[in-house]
Amino acid sequence: MSFLTSLFTADGFLGPFLRIASYVVLAPLVGGLLAGLDRKVTAWMQGRVGPPIIQPFYDVRKLLQKENIAVNRFQNFFVFLFLLFMVFTGSIFFLGAGFLVVVFSFTLACLFFVFGGFSVRSPYGHIGAERELIQMMAYDPMIILVAVGFYLAAGSFETRSIYQAGQNGILIAYLPGILAGYLYILTIKFRKSPFDLSMSHHAHQEIVKGLSTEFSGKALAAIEVAHWYENVLLLGIIYLFFSFHPLIGVAAALGAYFLEVFIDNSYARFKWGLTLQSTWIFTLMAGVSNLVILHYLLTRR
């Protein structure tokens, strides 16, 4: 437990370099296991047995052994940048850097992935990339509002200070609407139905594999691993809300993850229009109203 606590505190027993190292090593393990659990739970919900929990690792290992096939020289470079900047983003988040810097670096990483889709002259890749951009436009305001909410509640954009402020439970008490809005966009970020427009793990999609259509072998493995890093980072933000007790924090993060798996299995895919509209409306209803109430609450004091 003290390990989890020390992840965010400046004077914990983990120095900055050790902290980055532990994220770089542990995040893919956790992310991969979660992906395995996801498939297990999904199978269970559908009345199947499902693959072993470490199946995602087998998948990645197999992908790494495949031949290098590509449509053009530069497409895989973008995937590399996606992975690189995702690791960077997660590292600075767990270092306690400014939350806005984390958000911007995160956006940069995600954009590299989009450009990977664009970089090939492939109709399926393009439509996937376009849809991914629409999804980014849909969730981006809410991520900024999470930052604003943290700032109002903690008085700082620094992740360190946000973590400190969360120690007495103030974040979840002040920001329930922000959390709800964040959970909503988490469905987009986890690429779960109803928002898995741009690409999906399931084969039954009208745009084949969307953004990732033209990637294979090592590049596909890199996408998968980057996605694991991404998921751990996103769940780390959930943890921030509940950081007053490590157990509750981990439970909340896991709970959020399985909530998304449950939603994935109970919704049909939305069209992009509905995705954009509903996300923005929900951002306004949950996130913005929360901020306005909090503002008046804080100024009255």
| Residue ranges that bind another protein, judged by CB under 8 A | 67-78, 80-81, 84, 88, 92, 97-98, 100-101, 104-105, 107-108, 111, 114-115, 117-127, 129-130, 133-134, 136-138, 140-142, 144-145, 147-148, 151-152, 157-158, 208, 213-214, 272-273, 276-277, 280, 288, 291-292, 294-295
State the minimum distance, in angstroms, from the CB of residue 190 to another protein: 19
**CA–centroid distance for 129 within its chain:** 17
State the minimum distance, in angstroms, from the CB of residue 172 to another protein: 18
**CA–centroid distance for 133 within its chain:** 15
Nearer to another protein (CB atom), residue 90 or residue 249? 90
Nearer to another protein (CB atom), residue 91 or residue 193? 91
Partners of residue 188 on adjacent β-strands: none
Alpha-carbon distance of 275 to 138, in angstroms, equals 7
Nearer to another protein (CB atom), residue 78 or residue 242? 78
Nearer to another protein (CB atom), residue 101 or residue 254? 101
State the minimum distance, in angstroms, from the CB of residue 73 to another protein: 5
State the minimum distance, in angstroms, from the CB of residue 145 to another protein: 6
Phi, psi angle pair for 98, to nearest 5°: -60, 135
State the minimum distance, in angstroms, from the CB of residue 187 to another protein: 17
State the minimum distance, in angstroms, from the CB of residue 287 to another protein: 8
State the minimum distance, in angstroms, from the CB of residue 91 to another protein: 10
Q: Tokens for 202?
A: 């399931």
Phi, psi angle pair for 54, to nearest 5°: -90, 15
**Cβ burial 259-269 (10 Å sphere, 16+ → b, else e):** ebbebbeeeeb
Q: What residue type is 248 in one-letter code?
A: I
Q: Tokens for 32?
A: 């991969």
Evaluated on CA atoms 231, 237, 238, 243, the torsion sign reads positive
DSSP classification of residue 210: G
State the minimum distance, in angstroms, from the CB of residue 122 to another protein: 4
Nearer to another protein (CB atom), residue 117 or residue 166? 117
Nearer to another protein (CB atom), residue 202 or residue 295? 295
Determine contact, residues 210/128, Cβ cutoff 8 Å.
yes
Nearer to another protein (CB atom), residue 186 or residue 252? 186
Phi, psi angle pair for 298, to nearest 5°: -75, -35
Alpha-carbon distance of 286 to 105, in angstroms, equals 25
Q: Give the contacts of 47 (CB within 8 A, at least 6 positions apart).
A: none
Nearer to another protein (CB atom), residue 171 or residue 253? 171
Considering only the C-alpha atoms of the chain, give the largest distance between any 2 of them, rounded to a whole number of Å.
64
